[in-house]
Structure 1
């Protein structure tokens, strides 16, 4: 499988360089709307280990990896949680899945061949950051018992497989088979602005309404 996404060397911790804010682009102010730790990473205020990037997505290493590969893929356009994904988002969701599979295949080809990986979202109020992020874990068989059978176990109230979300959207259903918690209001941003940005040359811990703590991602 050939990758269409820009990849960076493993272990490179750096500050993301957002596109310049000029008269032809509102990309910088676009990132300013992200009031989360991921927004700070996108704006270059916090460092992160960048694994891959496209015009609409950024893949970074989880601060506390629970598998040899534990990536977080975030949309550059703000989407609060999996509850906020709609049928109009299927194009970049497909790209998100493609980026995830590219990472698994590149770093753990045997796990990729065996399907020994997980692509999943946490469902509010059990998410840690109020900015949608896909967990990419491989090889899944190496995860600790708690993480394999509890925290990152799809099919539970707190965790759902990416494929299930995409199937539900294709069938014109809500992205998750649960009602949105009242403390988690809709949070979205137009993704078309992200598609107009360029890839840089260089490469919260909270429930829905609790206070966010600032911390580096490396």
Structure 2
């Protein structure tokens, strides 16, 4: 897999406003938010797209969803969604698997 901006963020060579980090994942604020809360959740394992996920990666995928739930709860989001773009025609711009957590706070 080629080097991406997310690889550099994971190595902390590029600054990011990190909302969560653990052994398997990192979540940080998107620099071009599409909702009041817009986080990117990425695995530390380099996987190009969701289409490249293997059976052995299922615990990681489940973990990412749990991270999204925990972040939504901690940020007291009233409504939220997860978006994953797959492939260039699917809108994917960075070829490192990432989940967009888009959320709306209580008003």
TM-score of the superposition, structure 1-length normalised? 0.45
2:86 maps to: 123
- For residues 13-24 of structure 1, the aligned pairs below 5 Å read none
Rounded to whole Å, the distance in 2 between the matches of 1:34 and 1:59 is: 21
Aligned-residue offset at 1:34: 5.8
1:102 maps to which of 70, 74, 80: 70
Partner of 1:88: 56
Q: Which has the higher strand share?
A: 2
How many residues are matched?
103
SS at the partner of 2:95?
coil
Question: For the residues of structure 2 that align with 1:35 and 1:64, how far apart are their CA atoms?
Answer: 21
| Structure 2 unpaired stretches of 5+ | none
Instruction: Check the 8 A contact 1:37/1:129 in 2, yes or no.
Output: yes
Distance 1:34 1:89 in 2: 19
TM-aligned CA distance change 1:93 to 1:118, over 3 Å: same
Q: How far 1:129 moved relative to its partner?
A: 0.3
Larger Rg, first or second structure (1 or 2): 1
Paired with 1:134 and 1:84, the residues of 2 have a C-alpha distance of: 14
Q: CA deviation at 1:122?
A: 0.3
Runs of 4+ in structure 1 deviating by more than 4 angstroms, as ranges, are none
Structure 1 residue 94 displacement after superposition: 0.9
Match of 2:41 among 73, 80, 84: 73
**TM-score, normalised to structure 2's length?**
0.89
